[in-house]
Amino acid sequence: MPKILPVSYENKFSYNIIIRNSFDELLENIIKIKDQKYEKICIVTDDIVSGLYVDTIKSIFEDKFNQVIIFTLPNGENSKYLGNIEKLYEELITNHFTRRDLLVALGGGVIGDMTGFCAATYLRGIDFVQIPTTLLSQVDSSIGGKTGVDFNGYKNMVGAFYMPRLVYINTSVLKSLSEEQFCNGMGEVIKHGYIRDKAYFEMLKDHVNEVLALDDAYLEDMVYTSCDIKRNVVEIDPKEQGIRSYLNFGHTIGHAIEKNSNFSLYHGQCVAIGMVAAMYLSVKKGWMEQKDLEEMEEVLTSYHLPIRADHMTVEDVFNASKSDKKMDGNKVKFTVLKEIGVADSYMDFEEDELKEAIAYVLNLSSK
Ligand SMILES: NC(=O)c1ccc[n+]([C@@H]2O[C@H](COP(=O)([O-])OP(=O)(O)OC[C@H]3O[C@@H](n4cnc5c(N)ncnc54)[C@H](O)[C@@H]3O)[C@@H](O)[C@H]2O)c1
């Protein structure tokens, strides 16, 4: 049975997240989106996902729509720039795409963010559907309507909030991901437990073997619970004026480490290191205990996530975290834990405290 999570935006139904372990119900859910059938479909994908799933998806659509075209980009973050959005506009114009047509993002967060941004801006907005294929995109980037591209080395600098019409998650595609990419997504999954749901965190801690073995039942339940947590947060605070910032747990220092690694570390890996730094600060403030920090390091390590970074200085990471978008005035807005399952925002860390936490995860002295 599929699991269905309806997502509201500004108190009105916006789209469904469908979670299944096959593509069996994709077509009927696309047909259900609106009364008048879409005429043409453009599947946007990357050159790895294309080889794995594009034929299946194309054959599902081919008999039902007037035209199905495929737009393929090289895989990876380097593709996420405006030049490729222009190429996609050109493809859509050449094929006479109008607002009666549909874009389908088939891939990880890079493809989802770019397709969403193109959909938000082409003809001032056409419909798009997300078919996320990495764990990170299934539990995080496909939900909540953040779309965009990188600009001149700044991540996600240009973008728009634009909701998909459907998110269709087939958990079985996670079986073709490398273990490194799967564990990258686990950084965000573990974060969900920490910020919103202690029982979920305990489940992840106690069932590492089942999760890493990609056991179907565990995978579906895990993706469902994480999507439900993200959905709940983005429904309450779609534009990140309040509790959506809890999703940034581990991200302030995480992003700074990501930047200083020249993006050689993956996002979820940097979030893992950033969560350790944030937990260090929570222990320092007396909100959490040393044993919580040790437990976090053990759980992250059990999912093959890094808990330390190297080849960067405290000063560089500190400066990058100050220039992160999570700044409010001159202060770094930091998401901290008060308990497992309970996050909060804190603005009043001293520079020395932040540097000490950064030094901890760099295995350096802050002086
Ligand atoms: N919009 C948001 O709210 C949000 C949130 C978090 C991250 N993001 C963005 O998401 C992006 C990262 O997403 P990602 O980690 O999915 O990276 P990605 O899209 O680059 O995918 C990672 C790699 O996995 C490959 N891949 C994808 N699905 C596969 C599958 N099923 N089997 C085998 N290989 C597969 C891809 O080809 C790629 O090489 C970043 O650009 C980040 O900024 C956006």
In tens, the pLDDT along 161-220 reads 999 999 999 999 999 999 999 999 999 999 999 999 999 999 999 999 999 999 999 999
Mean pLDDT of 96-124: 98
Ligand 1 centre distance from Cα of residue 142 (Å): 10
- Is 110 contained in some domain? yes
- Is 367 contained in some domain? no
Same domain, 166 and 203: no
Ligand 1 centre distance from Cα of residue 272 (Å): 17
- Is 16 contained in some domain? yes
The pLDDT, as a whole number, for residue 94 is 98
Same domain, 161 and 252: no
Which of 55-64, 194-203, 255-264, 318-327 is predicted least confidently?
Answer: 318-327
Nearest to 41 by CA among 5, 83, 95: 95
Same domain, 303 and 227: yes
Mean pLDDT of 217-244: 93
- Is 121 contained in some domain? yes
Q: Which residues of 222-251 are buried (b: 16+ CB within 10 A; e: fewer)?
A: bbbbbbbbbbebbbebbebeebbbbbbbbb
Instruction: Give the tens place of pLDDT for each residue, 313-336.
Output: 999 999 998 876 555 556 677 899
Please state, in angstroms and as integers, the Cα–Cα distance from residue 11 to each residue in 14, 235, 236, 237, 362, following that order: 9, 8, 9, 11, 43
Alpha carbons 43 and 128: distance in angstroms, whole number:
10
Ligand 1 centre distance from Cα of residue 136 (Å): 6
Instruction: Give the number of the atom of ligand 1 that is nearest the alpha carbon of residue 113.
Output: 1
Alpha carbons 192 and 225: distance in angstroms, whole number:
9
Same domain, 249 and 355: yes
The pLDDT, as a whole number, for residue 201 is 98
- Is 31 contained in some domain? yes
The pLDDT, as a whole number, for residue 366 is 65
Listed residues 123, 150, 175: the one ending a domain: 175
Q: What is the mean pLDDT of the chain?
A: 94
Tokens matching residue 346: 């804190």
Same domain, 276 and 338: yes
Which of 31-35, 138-142, 164-168, 216-220 is predicted least confidently?
Answer: 31-35
Contact 99, 38 (CB under 8 A): no
More confident residue, 266 or 332: 266
The pLDDT, as a whole number, for residue 267 is 94
Is the C-beta atom of 140 inside 6 A of ligand 1? yes
State residue 100 phi and psi, 5-degree precision.
Answer: -85, 0
CATH code, domain carrying 269 = 1.20.1090.10
State residue 150 phi and psi, 5-degree precision.
Answer: -85, 155
Is the C-beta atom of 188 inside 6 A of ligand 1? no
Cα angle 257, 80, 135 (rounded to 5 degrees) comes to 65
Alpha carbons 99 and 119: distance in angstroms, whole number:
10
Number of domains in the chain: 2
Is the C-beta atom of 110 inside 6 A of ligand 1? yes
Is the C-beta atom of 138 inside 6 A of ligand 1? no
Mean pLDDT of 99-124: 98
The pLDDT, as a whole number, for residue 240 is 82
The pLDDT, as a whole number, for residue 34 is 87
Q: How confident is the model at residue 263 (pLDDT cuts 50, 70, 90)?
A: confident
Give me the half-sphere count of Cα atoms (radius 13 Å) on the Cβ side of residue 18: 23
Please state, in angstroms and as integers, the Cα–Cα distance from residue 124 to each residue in 87, 99, 127, 277, following that order: 17, 9, 11, 41
Same domain, 101 and 186: no
Ligand 1 centre distance from Cα of residue 105 (Å): 11
The pLDDT, as a whole number, for residue 324 is 63
Same domain, 193 and 208: yes
Tokens matching residue 22: 């096959």
Same domain, 171 and 37: yes
Give me the half-sphere count of Cα atoms (radius 13 Å) on the Cβ side of residue 104: 24
Position 46: which residue type? Answer: D
Return the sign of the alpha-carbon dihedral for residues 175, 178, 181, 182.
positive
CATH code, domain carrying 27 = 3.40.50.1970
Residue 70 β-bridge partners: 43
Same domain, 130 and 196: no
Same domain, 24 and 60: yes
**% the chain with pLDDT above 70:** 97
The pLDDT, as a whole number, for residue 323 is 72
Ligand 1 centre distance from Cα of residue 149 (Å): 13
Domain that holds residue 304: 179-361
Same domain, 140 and 240: no
The pLDDT, as a whole number, for residue 332 is 75
The pLDDT, as a whole number, for residue 330 is 62
- Is 211 contained in some domain? yes
Contact 147, 161 (CB under 8 A): yes
Is residue 228's pLDDT more than 60? yes
Is residue 29's pLDDT more than 60? yes
Mean pLDDT of 55-72: 96
Is residue 58's pLDDT more than 60? yes
Is residue 367's pLDDT more than 80? no
Instruction: Give the tens place of pLDDT for each residue, 287-316.
Output: 999 999 999 999 999 999 999 999 999 999
Same domain, 233 and 159: no
Mean pLDDT of 245-267: 93
Instruction: Give the number of the atom of ligand 1 that is nearest the alpha carbon of residue 144.
Output: 3
Tokens matching residue 93: 């114009």
- Is 366 contained in some domain? no
Is residue 139's pLDDT more than 90? yes
